[in-house]
């Protein structure tokens, strides 16, 4: 592939965000050096740090930097310190504004078990051995996260509501991504909703079936979200691609990540109609371990690999990062979150911190 120049907006954020991003940038630099690309980084304040500096979680001028870049790489936002700020100023609002501002409606969250970490899964071995390799395609800029939020007091009683609203257009575009994603994999799509209770889910189910005839090669099934939560731990091997609305996807993707061993390993991509995306690990800012060099940077490192692949079309470059991560795990290196539980298994493992992890993976890029 010919050498390219790419502008990347970098959001370090709060908690462990800066540590995991620093390691990831070293790895991107290594890729740039090896393949002759130039990556230039622009710092963007978002989350708690932006509240402290600018009085709001994502000032417009910061969002503009993201929009003018070729893609956005994000660590994590939020923390105890900002828990009591008013709802519309919370660090998480910055994240929602970023996703909406970038038009990133399609969030892709893979749940795949690394063979080296199979024993870290809390599921029984016979369930894990059947295979865990599925993707959650989560709608990201609609539904209850973005519907009207209201708090009011009527006759001395406090009320609050959050509106879960979807248009058929919003449902259609994300479900098409679900079908397209399944088409490139094992051609099985499970649409997850709560159509036994919610009107928004009944519309969802109707729309997904209306467009299904455009994808005759993909097998479509429906599942209620509560059942899905159960099936993910009962028999995750049944899933290939799950497509679902924003909040269901938020909850199910945490569950799905956990059965693969650690939430610290899972990357994500969020894309709209173009090639610009937001790439972030699915874990949070983990304030309890922030600044202690304990975090696992792999979720972010793999998010950068997704950015290279999906936004920049750099397939070999992405593969070389993924291979380096695999070699690192093969060599027995483990951050605290993926350390095996038994002494027996721990014998073959080497405990490392965040910075050593990043350095080892950078060195393994061949
Ligand atoms: C995620 C996070 C966010 C979400 C929070 C931090 C707003 O949990 O990316 O899954 O709910 O989308
Ligand atoms: Mg979440």
Provide the domain limits for residue 177.
Answer: 123-259
User: Does residue 213 sit in the same domain as residue 113?
Assistant: no
Tokens of 321: 């990062």
- Span from the CA of 342 to the centroid of ligand 1 (angstroms): 32
- Res 1 pLDDT > 80: no
Q: Does ligand 1 lie within 6 Å of residue 95's CB atom? A: yes
* Ligand 1 nearest-atom number relative to CA 92: 7
Q: What is the CATH number of the domain that holds 305?
A: 3.40.718.10
Residues 129, 251: one domain? yes
Residues 6+ apart with CB under 8 A from 301: 23, 24, 27, 267, 321, 325, 358, 361
348 C-alpha vs ligand 2 centroid, how far in Å? 33
Residue nearest to atom 9 of ligand 1 (CA): 282
Same domain, 95 and 210: no
> Rg for the chain (alpha carbons), in Å?
20
Which helix (H) or strand (E) covers residue 162, if one does? strand 157-162
Q: pLDDT digits over 102-155, tens only?
A: 999 999 999 999 999 988 899 999 999 999 999 999 999 999 999 999 999 999
What are 310-335's pLDDT values in tens digits?
Answer: 999 999 999 999 999 999 999 999 99
Category of 261 on φ-ψ map: left (φ > 0), alpha (ψ -120 to 50) or beta: left
Mean pLDDT of the chain: 96
Say if residue 315 is in the same domain as residue 364: yes
Q: Which atom of ligand 1 is least distant from the CA of 280? A: 9
**Which tokens belong to 343?**
């002494």
pLDDT band at 26 (very low <50, low <70, confident <90, very high): very high
3-state helix vs strand vs coil in the chain, percent to 5? 50, 20, 30
Query: For 261-291, what is each residue's pLDDT tens digit?
Result: 888 999 999 999 999 999 999 999 999 999 9
77 Cα nearest atom in ligand 1: 6
In terms of Cβ atoms closer than 10 Å to its own Cβ (0-12, 13-18, 19+), residue 49 is: buried
Mean pLDDT on 74-92: 92
% of the chain residues with pLDDT over 70:
100
Task: Tell whether 136 and 251 lie within a shared domain.
Answer: yes
Q: Which of 259, 288, 320 is the last residue of a domain?
A: 259
Q: Which two tokens stand for residue 217?
A: 């090669």
Q: How far apart are CA 20 and CA 297, in angstroms?
A: 5
Are residues 317 and 266 part of one domain? yes
Task: Give the pLDDT mean for 21-35.
Answer: 98
Q: Mind telling me the catalytic residues?
A: 145, 194, 226, 250, 254
**Ligand 1 atom closest to Cα of residue 99:** 12
Domains of the chain: total: 2
Check whether residue 311 and residue 337 sit in a common domain: yes
Of all protein residues, the one whose alpha carbon is nearest to atom 10 of ligand 1 is: 250
> Which ligand does the CA of 96 lie closest to?
1
Q: For residues 183 and 263, which has the higher predicted lDDT (pLDDT)? A: 183
Same domain for 88 and 156?
A: no
Question: What's the CA-to-centroid distance between 77 and ligand 1, angstroms?
Answer: 9
Q: How far is the CA of 343 from the centre of ligand 2 (A)?
A: 32
Long-range pairs, 59-64, Cβ under 8 A, ≥24: 63/97, 63/98, 63/101
End residue of a domain, out of 237, 259, 281:
259
Domain boundary among 218, 242, 259: 259
Q: Which residues pair with 10 in a beta bridge?
A: 43, 73
CA 250–ligand 1 middle distance (angstroms): 6
Q: Give me the residues near ligand 2 (ion), CB cutoff below 5 Å.
A: 250
- Check if 250 has its Cβ closer than 6 Å to any atom of ligand 1: yes
| Same domain, yes or no: 169 and 247 | yes
Same domain, 203 and 231: yes
Using a 6 Å cutoff on CB, does residue 72 contact ligand 1? no
Contact assessment for residue 312 and residue 70, using Cβ atoms and an 8 Å cutoff = yes
**Confidence bin at 341 (pLDDT 50/70/90):** confident
Identify whether residues 95 and 145 lie together within a single domain. Answer: no
- Tokens in use for 311? 């936004």
Bridge partners (DSSP) of residue 154 are 157
Are both 293 and 255 inside the same structural domain?
Answer: no
Q: Whose CA is nearest to atom 12 of ligand 1?
A: 250
Angle in degrees, CA 191, 197, 201, rounded to 5: 35
């Amino acid at each position: 592939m010919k050498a390219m120049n790419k502008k990347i907006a970098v959001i370090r954020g709060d908690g462990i965000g800066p540590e995991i991003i620093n390691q990831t940038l070293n790895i991107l630099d290594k890729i740039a050096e090896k393949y002759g690309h130039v990556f230039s980084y622009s710092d963007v304040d978002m989350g708690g740090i932006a509240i402290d500096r600018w009085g709001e979680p994502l000032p417009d001028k910061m969002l503009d930097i993201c929009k003018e870049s070729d893609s956005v790489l994000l660590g994590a936002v939020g923390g105890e310190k900002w828990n009591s700020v008013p709802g519309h100023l919370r660090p998480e609002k910055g994240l929602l504004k970023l996703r909406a501002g970038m038009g990133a409606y399609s969030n892709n969250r893979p749940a795949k078990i690394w063979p080296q970490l199979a024993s870290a899964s809390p599921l029984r071995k016979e369930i894990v051995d059947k295979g865990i390799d599925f993707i959650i395609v989560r709608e990201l800029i609609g539904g209850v996260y973005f519907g009207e939020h209201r708090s009011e007091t009527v006759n001395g009683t406090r009320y609050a509501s959050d509106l879960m609203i979807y248009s058929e257009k919003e449902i259609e575009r994300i479900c098409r991504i679900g079908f397209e994603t399944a088409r490139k994999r094992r051609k099985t799509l499970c649409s997850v909703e709560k159509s036994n209770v919610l009107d928004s889910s009944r519309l969802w189910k109707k729309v997904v079936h209306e467009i299904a005839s455009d994808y005759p090669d993909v097998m479509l099934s429906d599942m209620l979200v509560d059942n899905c939560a159960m099936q993910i731990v009962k028999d995750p091997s049944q899933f290939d691609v799950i497509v679902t609305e924003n909040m269901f996807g938020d909850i199910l993707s945490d569950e799905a990540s956990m059965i693969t061993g650690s939430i610290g390993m899972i990357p994500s991509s969020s894309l709209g109609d173009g090639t610009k995306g937001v790439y972030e690990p699915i874990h949070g800012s983990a304030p309890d371990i922030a600044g202690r060099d304990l975090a696992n940077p792999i979720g972010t490192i793999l998010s950068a690999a997704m950015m290279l692949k999906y936004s920049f079309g750099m397939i070999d470059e992405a593969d070389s990062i993924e291979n380096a991560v695999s070699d690192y795990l093969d060599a027995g290196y483990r951050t605290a979150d993926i350390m095996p539980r038994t002494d027996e298994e721990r014998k073959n493992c080497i405990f490392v911190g965040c910075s050593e992890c990043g350095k080892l993976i950078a060195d393994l890029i061949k």
